[in-house]
Amino acid sequence: MTQKSINIQILISFLLLVFVLVFFQITDADIYVQKFFFNFTNNTWIWDRNEPISEFLLYSGLKKSLIIFAFCILIVLIFFWKKQIIRKYRFGLIIIVLSSIVVPFTIISLKNVTNTPCPKNIEYFGGNYPDIKVFDSYPKDFIQYGKIRCWPAGHASGGFALMSLFFLFKRRKNQVLALSFAIGLAWSMGLYKMIIGDHFLSHTIITMLIAWLEILLIAKFIKRNFFEKSA
């Protein structure tokens, strides 16, 4: 991907991010979608968060696997930097490692300051929080004893960081396959958190767009400051 195409992708991603933020802020699309995952008869979510197999495959086990994957790539870069095969793919490998750090860190930082409730927390789905969106303020008479951390989707951020695999390959077919794999994996993580009531649809979409935008910025920075200068 050239610098020009990266710049175009950055602009498109930023505009999409703004559009999605505004769309979900002014509409009730999140509530409409989330209703499909809630059983109003017995006030439970359609999937039990304590079910061990899905919890391991789509949450705890997968999260640990992503951390191990990023750590292994970092070790390879540090100790096998001069190997020909590593030098051939080092541009993409560096982007993967940096994305695996920057993307989750950004999302976690946003979660710490936005103070937005999860679906399971709001009154509509049996909780005790008002339906507060990310740019809303809580009612003056609402007593909150501590910040809540639900926006955007932190769990899926590790999966969306894998969209950086796109830059590991040079052939278009392989790039598309890598990107499709990462998006599919991340959305399986995001959907799992939706069906247990932890996230709205917008939370995952926002995380995806932020992740891709940051991956593009990382690729632009690395390409311009290290690879183009040494070419």
User: Residue 229 pLDDT more than 70?
Assistant: no
Residues in CB range of 46: below 8 A, 6 or more apart:
37, 38, 39, 195
Q: Number of folded domains in the chain?
A: 1
Mean pLDDT of the chain: 95
Q: Which of 95, 105, 97, 90 is nearest to 166 (CA)?
A: 95
| CB 5 within 8 Å of CB 80 | no
What radius of gyration, in Å, describes the C-alpha atoms of the chain?
19
> Residue 214 domain-assigned?
yes
> Residue 141 domain-assigned?
no
* DSSP bridge partners of 38: 45
| CB 153 within 8 Å of CB 207 | yes
pTM of the model: 0.95
Residue 67 belongs to domain spanning: 3-136+146-230
> Residue 170 domain-assigned?
yes
> Residue 223 domain-assigned?
yes
Distance CA 58, CA 204 (A): 15
Q: What is the mean pLDDT of residues 59-73?
A: 95
